[in-house]
């Protein structure tokens, strides 16, 4: 593979000639079911062929050195394999360090460090889970090197913990799950309340999944994300006063929610909870439609997901709204919505193959005219989860 040959050269320049092995860890795009994972609802993501490649060698001592070809200006970053805590100066290496740390705390202590070169074909910080891609990658490197015998789901959970406890983003499990458990040509219907999941074949006859990146400079998404999460938790606690057995918003039908919504005192929190409940049910309805080959209904529900994320959850912003609005106006677009946490990042659109060229042209022109800089496009193919190459 050309990319690995180039990486091997860089590896030798940075670390010398050692015996290396290679890995790939995908990014993910969520088709529907947004901001439902931490509300005990369903998500429907897939792993994509854009991701992170790694070339890895064992070291004898308890230090790791990591280098990203995408962030060459950060140089080689070094960290010990024990007693770690978040260190801003170590920048992106915190995602590796976080995984090492949660593994250690779970009793899976690394016996030595690694030299690692990574090269991502995935844009960073664009809502396509570049961080989960790196975290699950590190989990697999550790699991293989030290024969910890962890299943991919165990690794996924530890990778999420690294993001929550070490990096400090209170994310749900969707990203790490999609990255680790992805399957070529399939999306994953995951119940985040129980972690029950199944694969659903995505066989779009004459359409493709097109990801459009707002290219919005990195926003302060993580604090707003944590606020949404806290609002939903507070709303859930208020609903429990009348429905003590309720474990998560994802357990409610729309009707059941409407009956008890009045017990949430804050209007804003009622909106947040309504999104969580309706989006979960919408995701289930959408998957059922897709499995009956009713792509049109799936697309319509994608659009409704965007409305709800815009109006009730307030996580879209002018860039994502502009992308979605332009997409909706292009003939041949079956559906379009923001994907991931929001506040910037990407939209996901289902576009008829013969309309993709016009779609790109229209969206690029109108978005650039309104926002002042251009979007980027990726026609996604659905890939396998994190693996050794």
What are the b/e assignments for 374-384, b being 16+ CB within 10 Å?
Answer: ebebbebebbb
Choose the stretch contacting ligand GLA; rule: CB under 6 A; options: 91-99, 167-175, 287-295, 370-378. 167-175
Residue closer to ligand GLA by CB (options 64, 212) is: 212
Catalytic residue list contains 115: no
Query: Shortest gap between Cβ of 279 and ligand GLA (angstroms)?
Result: 9
Query: Shortest gap between Cβ of 265 and ligand GLA (angstroms)?
Result: 25
Contact 36, 281 (CB under 8 A): no
- 279 binding ligand GLA? (CB under 6 A): no
Binding residue for ligand GLA, selected from 31, 32, 34, 181, defined by CB under 6 A: 34
Work out whether the CA dihedral 379, 383, 385, 386 comes out positive or negative: negative
Query: Shortest gap between Cβ of 160 and ligand GLA (angstroms)?
Result: 8
- 360 binding ligand GLA? (CB under 6 A): no
Query: Shortest gap between Cβ of 47 and ligand GLA (angstroms)?
Result: 14
Query: Shortest gap between Cβ of 34 and ligand GLA (angstroms)?
Result: 4
- 191 binding ligand GLA? (CB under 6 A): no
Catalytic residue among 37, 101, 115, 175: 175
- 228 binding ligand GLA? (CB under 6 A): no
- 175 binding ligand GLA? (CB under 6 A): yes
- 38 binding ligand GLA? (CB under 6 A): yes
Residue closer to ligand GLA by CB (options 116, 155) is: 155
Choose the stretch contacting ligand GLA; rule: CB under 6 A; options: 115-123, 168-176, 269-277, 292-300. 168-176
**Binding map of ligand GLA across residues 328-347, x = CB under 6 A, - = no contact:** ------------xx------
**Binding map of ligand GLA across residues 243-262, x = CB under 6 A, - = no contact:** --------------------
> Which of 240, 313, 242, 236 is CA-nearest to residue 271?
313
Query: Shortest gap between Cβ of 126 and ligand GLA (angstroms)?
Result: 11
> Interface residues with ligand GLA (CB under 6 A)?
34-35, 37-38, 171-172, 174-175, 340-341
Q: Could you list the active site residues? A: 175
């Amino acid at each position: 593979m050309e990319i690995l040959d180039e990486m091997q050269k860089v590896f030798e320049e940075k670390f010398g000639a050692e015996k290396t092995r290679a890995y790939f860890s995908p990014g993910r795009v969520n088709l529907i079911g947004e901001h439902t994972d931490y509300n005990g609802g369903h998500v429907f993501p897939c792993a994509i062929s854009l991701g992170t490649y790694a070339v890895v060698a064992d070291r004898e001592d308890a230090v790791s050195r990591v280098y990203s070809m995408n962030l060459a200006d950060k140089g080689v970053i070094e960290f010990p394999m024990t007693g770690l805590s978040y260190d801003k100066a170590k920048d992106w290496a915190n995602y590796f360090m976080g995984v090492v740390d949660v593994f250690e705390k779970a009793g899976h202590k690394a016996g030595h460090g690694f030299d690692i070169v990574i090269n991502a074909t995935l844009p960073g910080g664009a809502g396509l889970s570049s961080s989960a891609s790196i975290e699950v990658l590190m989990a697999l490197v550790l699991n293989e090197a030290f024969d910890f015998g962890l299943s991919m789901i165990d690794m996924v959970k530890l990778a999420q913990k690294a993001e929550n406890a070490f990096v400090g983003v209170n994310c749900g499990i969707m990203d790490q799950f999609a990255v680790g458990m992805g399957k070529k040509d399939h999306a994953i219907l995951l119940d985040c309340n129980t972690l029950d999941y199944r694969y659903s074949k995505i066989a779009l006859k004459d359409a493709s999944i097109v990801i459009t990146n707002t290219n919005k400079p990195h926003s302060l998404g993580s604090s707003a994300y944590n606020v949404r999460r806290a609002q939903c938790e507070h709303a859930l606690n208020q609903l429990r006063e009348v429905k003590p057995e309720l474990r998560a918003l994802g357990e409610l039908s729309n009707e059941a929610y409407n009956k008890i919504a009045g017990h949430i005192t804050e209007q804003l929190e009622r909106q947040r909870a309504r999104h969580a409940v309706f989006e979960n049910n919408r995701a289930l309805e959408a998957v059922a439609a897709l499995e009956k080959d009713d792509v049109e209904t799936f697309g319509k529900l994608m659009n409704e997901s965007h409305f709800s994320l815009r109006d009730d959850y307030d996580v879209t912003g002018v860039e994502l709204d502009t992308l979605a609005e332009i997409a909706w106006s292009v003939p041949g677009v079956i559906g379009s919505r923001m994907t991931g946490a929001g506040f910037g990042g990407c939209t996901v659109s289902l576009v008829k193959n013969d309309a993709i060229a016009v779609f790109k042209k229209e969206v690029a022109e109108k978005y650039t005219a309104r926002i002042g800089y251009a979007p980027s496009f990726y026609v996604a193919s659905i890939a396998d989860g994190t693996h050794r190459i």
